[in-house]
Amino acid sequence: SPDEAGQLLLEENLAAARWRAGRGRGRLPAGRLLTYRHRPVEDWEPVEVLKAVHAYSHATADSPGWAGSAAHRFTVDVAHAAAQHLPGYAEAPWRWRRPSRPGVPVGLCGTWRPDVADISWTTPTELLQRWAHADAVVLTSEVLEQLPAKLPTRSGPVYLLTRPGGLTPHQWELAGLLGQALLVELPTAAAWLQEQLQPDIGVPQRSPRAGMDHTWVRLRPRPS
């Protein structure tokens, strides 16, 4: 009943007041109530209910038995119910997905510039400036010599493009500095690469399977 719920909250609040008073952090109010009687209140907005729950929780959290108590569980349930009545709550999506970040991948190439659309080919200096935040980074194997030994941390994909024949032993060693890069052999994997570079994808969408017509490898130190 409302009287029982109110009494539960009152007793937990008094327990917190006693705990603080016993440590010199306040005193019990004179003429304090020991019995709760419910008096209806009309026209409370959901946000006002939430604020009242937060204020009560702040005032009662010092109670030694607050965590996991019936009063604590009751306030959590009230706050949950009030939140569901906030304006716009029912219309908001249940699941949230991070918005895609449309952007042109940044690339660095040498004398060989692969015929891949939607890449902003740039200079080594500008590449390093954009390395950490570019949606995708595309490199050709011949520019590995131009990269510093220590690169900034990045979370987006790095695609290392090679021609048939793959990497030389020295290029394998340099490629190991890229960490989790993707080795892509052209022209075999051109269509797959173009798919990955679409603005609303940005990260590899599928793993290699037997029979697929592209090379897809996470770079690791080359076996000796």
Segment 139-173, tens digit of pLDDT? 999 999 999 888 888 888 999 999 998 899 999 99
Domains: count for the chain? 2
Last residue of a domain, one of 83, 116, 148: 83
131 and 176 fall within a common domain: yes
71 and 120 fall within a common domain: no
pTM of the model: 0.48
pLDDT, tens digit, 9 for 90 and up, residues 64-120: 888 889 999 999 999 999 999 999 888 888 877 655 455 688 999 999 999 888 899
Phi, psi of 122, deg, nearest 5 = -140, -170
Confidence band, pLDDT 50/70/90 cuts, at residue 54 = very high
CA triple 202-218-154, angle to 5 deg: 50
- As a whole number, the mean pLDDT across the chain is 82
Is cis: bond before 187, omega within 30 of 0? yes
**Tokens 């952090």 belong to residue:** 25
Does residue 156 sit within a domain? yes
Last residue of a domain, one of 33, 68, 83: 83
Residue 141: per-residue pLDDT: 95
29 and 113 fall within a common domain: no
73 and 115 fall within a common domain: no
Can you list the positions of beta strands (E) in the chain?
106-108, 120-121, 137-140, 158-162, 182-185, 217-218
Does residue 40 sit within a domain? yes
Does residue 94 sit within a domain? no
Structural domain containing residue 197: 106-218
